[in-house]
Amino acid sequence: MEAPLLHLALVGTPNSGKTSLFNALTGSRQKVANYPGVTVERKEGFFVTPAGRQVSLVDLPGTYSLRGRSPDEEITRDMVLGRTPGEAVPDLILCVADATNLRLTIRLLLELKNTGRPMMLVLNMFDIAARRGVSVDVPKLSEALGVPVVTSIAVRKGGIAELLRRTDEIAAQEQTPAGPNRWQPLTASQLRATQREADRIINSAVTLPAKPDTWTAQIDAVVLHPVAGLFILALILFLMFQAVFAWAQPLMELLSSAFDALGQFVHDTLPEGLLQSFLQNGVISGVGSVIVFLPQIIIIFLFILLLEDFGYMARAAFLMDRIMGGAGLHGRAFIPLLSSFACAIPGIMATRVIDNRRDRLTTILIAPLMTCSARIPVYTLIISAFIPDRDVWGWFNLRGLVLFGLYAAGITSALGVSFLVKFFMLRDYAPAPFMLELPDYKLPRLKSIAIGVYTRAKMFLQRAGTTIFSMMVLIWFLASFPTAPAGAEGPAINYSLAAIIGKAIEPLLAPLGFNWQIAVALIPGMAAREVAVAALGTVYAIEGGKEAADQIGHVLATKWSLATALSLLVWYIFAPQCASTLAVIRRETGGWRWMAVTFFYMLALAYLASLATYNIAVALGAG
């Protein structure tokens, strides 16, 4: 007889290693989806126990209690209590604890016991605990808590066998069903009592070393120093931007010449005609011009994932809290905003750790102003076409500096917008508290970083293969039809639908210095920013023939004035050109209103800033 699917849920305080354990148990058999209604990632994985039982495992956001103060904590609470529609009540809760830091998790576990669900305590990070001289009397702890206790080293799959064996054991005892749910929100004095009880149990079963983690203390002495700490933070950010520009270059050139060769191959093998034009101009030069930026996207995600895994992000939030407070932002907003440098979508989703609704809303509104990786293709293309590759002050690269300036402009405008929101819209604002655990530093795990970078790269390529590809087909079609009448003068594209549409919008954008080719590229660029680069690639390729397709940068340099280029750069700092971001804002804020606010304020900013840039540049003689 087939046993029914066993439902397991991972619960624990933040940073206790739930996701690592999830990965260790399920390997690649994971699927990521959204909880209905809210955009919180729902991670479910599957595995089979030694006894042959099918298990479904869900990874839940970290929490200190079941009170559910913020959207992500509510997910955990509802899941544990079986209140999530369409989700099974977990048959077994795996309560994951950082073995070096048991106090808060044991208190959570005592609270979880009230739910009546069967439970097992997993003492994770047992390697670190052992190294640091924490010794745990596991049988005694298990007896005092009244739940089975196992140890594990999630990142090395240590202890997994025992965990699975115990799971089978618990699953086999079907005659002892789950107890009744007696959980209710605890009052302060009950919380106190459970913490006391937890401390008492820990004292009886755990011996702690006299000294805390010296590594963490030594690193923090520098990294959290009021002055040196901020300097280091600025240095890290600066390094990140230089890396994105300088280190990625060789790889990008390699990719770029590969696509050129491919285009050339298609050109040489296929007969002149529609199919040749479609493959070479539409597909290869369009999609290729986006894929070229994969190295830069990998580098930016690599930096962010490394900082996250190391445990630096919480420190950055600590350093920036009061500084961002001046602009009406919460210290916790720093992490979502920093991830928005990679992509605004995970950034906006990460705002769910902010419990105060206003703080969260402000952060969501400004997250798209952070320079996401999709802007990199646009920036890089224009910068390399117009900004000379020169060293300034010895060791700074001028292009790197311009890129840094664009990032800085994004940050500054985000802070400005947040300040205005606080000042005009949320006047009666009392700063919500900032309380955050600073976890011990951990050596980043190559494997988990690799998994993270791989997933992001895959998402980028999938986008290139779907959204960008379909947009490119559209652009190619618009730019190729109708064909030029016989005996017409000038490039054929001038007679196409694209030209007709572009020229219709051109008057609107002409004050910004944009020509019709840019106008055409900006429309599909509403779907995703990098599409604009691909669209420009296609439009100019069809217009200019083969040599244009090879060197889109060179073509731009001859066709645009510096003022136009600068104006377009500035446009891209602000313009709301990403359909997915807007969709996520709508879901996260639960309505169209804030999505519309975001769209129009960013559009207005983009227009005004580009207008100013173009006119100033022209006045200075760059027209």
Ligand X SMILES: Nc1nc2c(ncn2[C@@H]2O[C@H](COP(=O)(O)OP(=O)(O)OP(=O)(O)O)[C@@H](O)[C@H]2O)c(=O)[nH]1
- The reply on whether position 230 binds other proteins by CB under 8 A is yes
Please list every residue from 281 through 340 that binds other proteins, using CB under 8 A: 314, 317-319, 321-323, 325-326, 331
Task: Kindly tell me which of 18 and 117 has the beta carbon lying closer to Mg ion.
Answer: 18
Looking only at the bridges linking them, the beta strands covering 54-59 and 6-12 are parallel
CA atoms within 13 A on the CB side of 547: 2
Chosen from other proteins, Mg ion, ligand X, none, partner binding at 517 (C-beta under 5 to 8 Å by type): none
Selected binder of Mg ion within 19, 70, 589, 610 (CB under 5 A): 19
Task: Kindly tell me which of 237 and 348 has the beta carbon lying closer to other proteins.
Answer: 237
- The reply on whether position 196 binds other proteins by CB under 8 A is yes
- The reply on whether position 124 binds ligand X by CB under 6 A is yes
- The reply on whether position 187 binds other proteins by CB under 8 A is yes
Residue 544: CB atoms within 10 A of its CB come to 18
Please tell me what DSSP assigns to residue 332: G
Selected binder of other proteins within 38, 88, 178, 191 (CB under 8 A): 191
Residue 114 has φ and ψ, to the nearest 5°, of -65, -20
Q: What is the largest CA-CA distance in the chain?
A: 94
Task: Kindly tell me which of 19 and 285 has the beta carbon lying closer to Mg ion.
Answer: 19
Cβ–Cβ < 8 Å for 519, 535: no
Dihedral angle of Cα 382, 581, 298, 459, to the nearest 10 degrees: -120
CA 46, 16, 108: angle at the middle one, nearest 5? 100
- 607 in helix, strand or coil? helix
Please give the size of the binding site for Mg ion, defined by CB under 5 A.
Answer: 2
CA distance 131 to 346: 35
Place of tokens 């952060």: 363
Using the contact rule CB under 6 A, the part of the chain among 112-120, 124-132, 322-330, 589-597 near ligand X is 124-132
Selected binder of other proteins within 82, 431, 491, 553 (CB under 8 A): 431
Using the contact rule CB under 5 A, the part of the chain among 15-23, 159-167, 387-395, 560-568 near Mg ion is 15-23
Chosen from ligand X, Mg ion, other proteins, none, partner binding at 154 (C-beta under 5 to 8 Å by type): ligand X
Site string for ligand X, 44-83 (x = CB under 6 A): ------------------x---------------------
CB of 103 to ligand X, least distance (A): 16
Straight-line distance from the first to the last Cα atom of the chain, in angstroms, rounded to the nearest whole number: 79
Tokens of 369: 């102003």
Task: Kindly tell me which of 166 and 360 has the beta carbon lying closer to other proteins.
Answer: 360
Task: Kindly tell me which of 19 and 567 has the beta carbon lying closer to Mg ion.
Answer: 19
Task: Kindly tell me which of 126 and 560 has the beta carbon lying closer to ligand X.
Answer: 126
Q: Which amino acid is at 299?
A: I
Please list every residue from 39 through 78 that binds other proteins, using CB under 8 A: 64-65, 67, 69
Task: Kindly tell me which of 44 and 127 has the beta carbon lying closer to ligand X.
Answer: 127
- 224 in helix, strand or coil? coil
CB of 119 to ligand X, least distance (A): 17
Chosen from other proteins, ligand X, Mg ion, none, partner binding at 195 (C-beta under 5 to 8 Å by type): other proteins
Chosen from Mg ion, other proteins, ligand X, none, partner binding at 153 (C-beta under 5 to 8 Å by type): ligand X
Chosen from Mg ion, ligand X, other proteins, none, partner binding at 191 (C-beta under 5 to 8 Å by type): other proteins
Task: Kindly tell me which of 16 and 26 has the beta carbon lying closer to other proteins.
Answer: 16
CB of 59 to Mg ion, least distance (A): 6
Task: Kindly tell me which of 142 and 216 has the beta carbon lying closer to other proteins.
Answer: 216
- The reply on whether position 210 binds other proteins by CB under 8 A is no
CA distance 230 to 316: 8
Indicate the residue whose CB is closest to ligand X: 62
Please tell me what DSSP assigns to residue 136: E
Please give the size of the binding site for ligand X, defined by CB under 6 A.
Answer: 20
- The reply on whether position 153 binds ligand X by CB under 6 A is yes
Selected binder of other proteins within 52, 180, 226, 490 (CB under 8 A): 226
Cβ–Cβ < 8 Å for 222, 229: yes
Closest to 166 in 3D by CA, of 257, 75, 276, 49: 49
- The reply on whether position 116 binds ligand X by CB under 6 A is no
Q: How far is CA 533 from CA 290, 453, 491, 499, in A?
A: 7, 23, 20, 17
Give yes or no for a cis peptide into 524 (omega within 30° of 0).
no
Please give the size of the binding site for other proteins, defined by CB under 8 A.
Answer: 49
- The reply on whether position 20 binds Mg ion by CB under 5 A is no
Exposure string of 284-301, with b = 16+ CB inside 10 Å and e = fewer, is: bbbbbbbbbbbbbbbbbb
Tokens of 562: 């510096």
Selected binder of other proteins within 79, 92, 104, 149 (CB under 8 A): 104
CA distance 578 to 300: 19
Using the contact rule CB under 8 A, the part of the chain among 215-223, 465-473, 502-510, 553-561 near other proteins is 215-223
CA distance 339 to 300: 9
Task: Kindly tell me which of 76 and 363 has the beta carbon lying closer to Mg ion.
Answer: 76
Selected binder of ligand X within 6, 8, 9, 15 (CB under 6 A): 15
Cβ–Cβ < 8 Å for 40, 154: no
Chosen from other proteins, Mg ion, ligand X, none, partner binding at 20 (C-beta under 5 to 8 Å by type): ligand X
- 427 in helix, strand or coil? coil
Task: Kindly tell me which of 62 and 513 has the beta carbon lying closer to Mg ion.
Answer: 62
Cβ–Cβ < 8 Å for 552, 565: no
Count of positions (residues) in the chain = 623
Cβ–Cβ < 8 Å for 562, 402: no
Please tell me what DSSP assigns to residue 153: B
- The reply on whether position 17 binds ligand X by CB under 6 A is yes
CA distance 125 to 114: 26
CA distance 265 to 260: 8
Cβ–Cβ < 8 Å for 63, 40: no
- The reply on whether position 225 binds other proteins by CB under 8 A is yes
Task: Kindly tell me which of 237 and 305 has the beta carbon lying closer to Mg ion.
Answer: 305
Task: Kindly tell me which of 89 and 451 has the beta carbon lying closer to ligand X.
Answer: 451
CA distance 207 to 598: 53
Which H or E run contains 56?
A: strand 54-59
Give me the residues that bind other proteins (CB under 8 A), please.
64-65, 67, 69, 100-101, 103-104, 107, 186-188, 191-192, 195-196, 199, 208, 212, 216-217, 220, 224-227, 229-230, 314, 317-319, 321-323, 325-326, 331, 356, 430-439
Give me the residues that bind ligand X (CB under 6 A), please.
12, 14-20, 62, 124-125, 127-128, 153-155, 309, 442, 445, 448
Give me the residues that bind Mg ion (CB under 5 A), please.
18-19
